[in-house]
Structures are given as C-alpha cells and as structure tokens.
C-alpha cells in the first residue's frame, strides 16, 4: 500500500481529546499498511487569536512579522500530535513547513509553494514513522518564514501528496463533505458524493471556505484524488476528481457566497483620457487583487467609467494607489461602495444550458435584490449584491436551481 496524506483543520485538533482522536486515526491508517503523513492546522481559533493580538499591538504590522507570529500556531499542534502518537506506542516525528522542505516565494501572508524537498519526510517514512507536518507555512529561498494565506494548510497537504506521489489526500474537517452550499447558513444544502475539480475550484475561489482554492488547483494539476470528510466520524465524504460524475443532470452544482466586498468606480471625462491598463498595472504592482471589472464607454448614457470589485480589506490600499497615480490614469472622479457581497452559482452543466444566467437575474429581481455587478464564465454566474441580502440571494438561487 502506498502513501496517504491526511489533513486535520483547526476545529478537528481544537483540544486534547481531538488531538488524541487524530492520533488514533493516523495510527489506524498506518495499521492498514499505509505510509502516513498528517498535516495539521493551528488548534481551534488560535490563528484568529494571534491575528487579534497583533492588531492590538500594531494594526499595520509588517507582513514579515505577521508570518513569524502566525506560523507558531501550527508548530504547537505538530508537537502535541507527534507526542500523542508516540504515547500510543507508534513512532512519529513532527516537522515544521521548512523542515518538511516547503520552499515558497517570498510573498508574506500569501506565498505560493515553489518546490518541495521531500528528503526529511521521505526518510522518516522509510523508517516507518508517522510524519506530522505543520500546514500553512514554508520558507523562501532567502530563509524567510512565509505563510500560504488563511486556510492554506489544505494546500500544504495536497502539495505534499503530489510531491510524495501519494495515492490519496483526505481533508478531514468539521463538516462531513462538500455541500451544495455552506451548510452553516443554507438550510437546504446537501452533501455531494462527488464534484469535479473545475467546479470545486470555482466554488472555492468564489467563497466556499471548505477548501483552500490552491489546494484544488494542485489536486487538479497533479491529478490527486482529493477527499473531504468529517474529521472524527466514519461517514463517507465527498470525492473531488476529474469529470464524468454520476449526477450529471445537475445544471448547477453549488452556490457560493463571499462577503466584505467593495466596489470602486473610476470615471473619465472622455474615452481618450481613459487609461484602463494603467489602473490595473499600478494595482497589480502593489499586489492589490481586483475581481470583477466592468467598463462602460460613455455616449449619451453618461461618462466613460471603469468599475471593479475587490475585498473591502484592500479598499484603502487601492484608493491610495489610484490617487497616487491619478495623472497617469487620467481619471476625473472616484466613487466607492462598501457593504457588498458576491453570490455565485457554479456547475459544468451550464455550458450547454442557455438561460441559466437569465433565470438567476429574474429570481433575484423578483426577490427585490438589486444586482450591482455581474460576471460569468462557462461554468459560473456571479452577482454582486448588498451584503445584507447575501444569504437571501444564496437561498433563492439554491431553491430555484434545485441544487
Ligand atoms: P478547517 O478548519 O477544517 O480547515 P474550515 O472552516 O476551513 O475548516 O472549512 C470548513 C467549513 O467550510 C465548514 O464548517 C462550512 O461552514 C464551510 N463551508 C463553506 N462552504 C461549504 C460547502 N460548500 N460545503 C461544506 N462546507 C462549506
Ligand atoms: N491556521 C491557518 C488559518 O487559520 C491555516 C489553516 O488552518 O489552514 O488560516
Ligand atoms: Mg480550512
């Protein structure tokens, strides 16, 4: 039998009993004959707690120091889990991200994995040990500690599974699988037996926090069978895999939503003054991510303008960049709107079903929900709506498409 990678999220290692239960599961996999790597998150809400401490000390803390701080959370869990496994009479060793060979780019707070040097992990597995690895962290080539973005332990797990040639990667969490929408908020959400990589990637990117988007990207690129299941239950989870699913008749596979979104509208006196490329180049240079972009060329309808959505947290920085480059961009006026959210429907079946977007806009209109922005791809339709209407919009979509 081959290698397996199991990943346990914060809630699932949130106290001593859960760490012991995690140890037992790792041992069970080992006793089945697998070589076992366990990736863990920081216990419970400890990452949030660390963020909160930093905010009280310096709300604009250098991102390098944030990584230094946040990477400590996972280090607590790996040591405790390795001790728990040893206590049960099995050999284990814990590794930080850098000991496990995770080399990342040097972008603090959101680094991408560049390479994984599996020497230590491979050697420990050869020696019959259960290897426990800290999720969410790595080291840049210059020796700087980095983190992979909130929720990034999923990506550590899948990337390790790819680097080790594991036969499966299981993401063990506080829900029993991937649902048609977030079961915490959408009462009719139901568990999916399976979902394809592309749909899962869209859902994750569009706010379904059950998986870190880059974990899905990795799984797709390396064709790693990825399972999401309940951490300490026997129930079968959801398989994320390549196409050809059983439930193909479903046009919409899931509904995702994401809050804390803002919109900026940059208007110009005339089309010739409009330097759209400059707006987005300058924002990109400062690592400000933008999402939906809508351009309107003014004729009788009004002035020319570009509107785009972004995370509320990035609004201040975006405004700073725009104001600093006002002359080069050539804009006349700026308007911002906060308190927005994005609601999206996702499904591979949409490609061959025209009218899905129209149906979505109709039900939202009938529900009195005003749509501020729209974005579509072959397998998704997203709308930006007022944040106070986010859950209502998601419920209505979920019901309409009988997800
Ligand atoms: P972990 O700490 O194990 O990484 P997360 O909180 O990151 O767990 O992810 C699990 C949570 O994702 C669930 O508690 C659930 O509220 C949320 N979630 C959002 N969308 C979905 C979905 N489509 N299916 C399942 N869970 C979802
Ligand atoms: N502990 C980190 C977080 O809370 C990483 C993770 O849990 O995946 O975001
Ligand atoms: Mg998570």
pLDDT tens figures, 378-399: 999 999 999 999 999 999 999 9
Pick the residue whose CA is nearest to atom 7 on ligand 1. Answer: 210
Residues 19 and 33: their CA atoms lie apart, in Å, by: 22
Which tens digit of pLDDT belongs to each residue from 273-319?
Answer: 788 999 999 999 998 999 999 988 876 556 789 999 999 999 999 99
- Would the CB of 47 count as within 6 Å of ligand 2? yes
Q: If you average pLDDT over every residue of the chain, what do you get?
A: 94
Q: What is the pLDDT of residue 301?
A: 52
Specify the residue with its C-alpha closest to ligand 2, atom 5: 151
Going 201 to 207 to 208 to 212, the CA torsion angle's sign is positive
Dist. CA 337 → ligand 1 center (Å): 28
Question: Does 150 appear as a known binding residue?
Answer: no
Per the CB < 8 A criterion, the answer to whether 189 and 183 are in contact is yes
Query: Residue 173 annotated as binding?
Result: yes
Q: What are phi and psi of 266, to 5 degrees?
A: -110, 120
Q: Are 311 and 289 contacting, i.e. CB atoms less than 8 angstroms apart?
A: yes
Cβ partners under 8 Å of residue 166, min gap 6: 2, 3, 4, 5, 37, 160, 224
Report residues whose beta carbon is within 6 angstroms of any ligand 1 atom: 9-12, 41, 151, 173-175, 178-179, 181-184, 208-210, 254
For the chain, domains (ranges, CATH) are: 3-245 (3.40.1160.10), 255-400 (3.30.2130.10)
Nearest to 252 by CA among 395, 350, 358: 350
41 lines ligand 2 (CB under 6 A): yes
Asked whether 8 lines ligand 2 (CB < 6 A), one says no
CA 403–ligand 1 middle distance (angstroms)? 18
Give tens-digit pLDDT for 357-382: 999 999 999 999 999 999 999 999 99
């Amino acid at each position: 039998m081959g290698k397996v990678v199991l990943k346990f999220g914060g809630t699932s290692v949130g106290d001593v009993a859960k760490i012991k239960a995690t140890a037992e599961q790792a041992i069970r996999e080992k006793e089945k004959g697998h070589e076992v790597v366990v990736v863990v998150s920081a216990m419970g809400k400890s990452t949030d707690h660390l963020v909160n401490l930093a905010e009280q000390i310096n709300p604009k803390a250098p991102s390098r120091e944030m990584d230094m701080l946040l990477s400590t959370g996972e280090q607590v869990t790996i040591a405790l889990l390795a001790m728990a496994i040893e206590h049960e009479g099995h050999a284990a060793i814990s590794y930080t991200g850098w000991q496990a060979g995770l080399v990342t780019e040097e972008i603090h707070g959101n680094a991408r994995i560049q390479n994984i040097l599996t020497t230590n992990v491979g050697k420990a597995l050869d020696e019959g040990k259960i290897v426990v690895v800290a999720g969410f962290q790595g080291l840049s080539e210059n020796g700087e500690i980095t983190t992979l973005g909130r929720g990034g332990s999923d990506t550590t797990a899948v990337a390790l599974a790819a680097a080790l040639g594991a036969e499966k990667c299981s993401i063990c969490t506080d829900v029993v699988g991937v649902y048609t929408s977030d079961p915490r908020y959408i009462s009719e959400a139901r568990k999916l037996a399976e979902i394809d990589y592309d749909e899962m990637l869209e859902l994750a990117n569009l706010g379904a926090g059950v998986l870190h988007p880059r974990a899905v990207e990795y799984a797709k690129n390396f064709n790693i069978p990825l399972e999401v299941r309940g951490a300490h239950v026997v129930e079968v989870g959801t398989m994320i895999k390549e196409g050809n699913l059983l439930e193909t008749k479903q046009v919409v596979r899931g509904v995702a939503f994401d809050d804390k979104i803002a919109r900026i509208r940059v208007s110009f006196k005339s089309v010739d003054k409009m330097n759209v490329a400059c707006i987005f180049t300058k924002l990109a240079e400062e690592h400000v991510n933008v999402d939906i972009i809508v351009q309107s060329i003014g004729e009788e309808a009004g002035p020319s303008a570009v509107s785009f959505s972004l995370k509320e947290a990035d609004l201040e920085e975006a405004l700073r960049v725009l104001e600093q480059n006002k002359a080069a961009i050539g804009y006349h006026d700026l308007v911002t709107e906060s308190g927005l959210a994005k609601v999206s429907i996702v499904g591979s079946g949409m490609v061959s079903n025209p009218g899905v977007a129209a149906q979505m806009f109709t039900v939202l209109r009938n529900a009195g929900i005003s749509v501020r922005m729209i974005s579509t791809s072959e397998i998704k339709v997203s709308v930006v709506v007022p944040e106070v209407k986010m859950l209502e919009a998601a419920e209505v979509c979920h019901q309409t498409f009988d997800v």
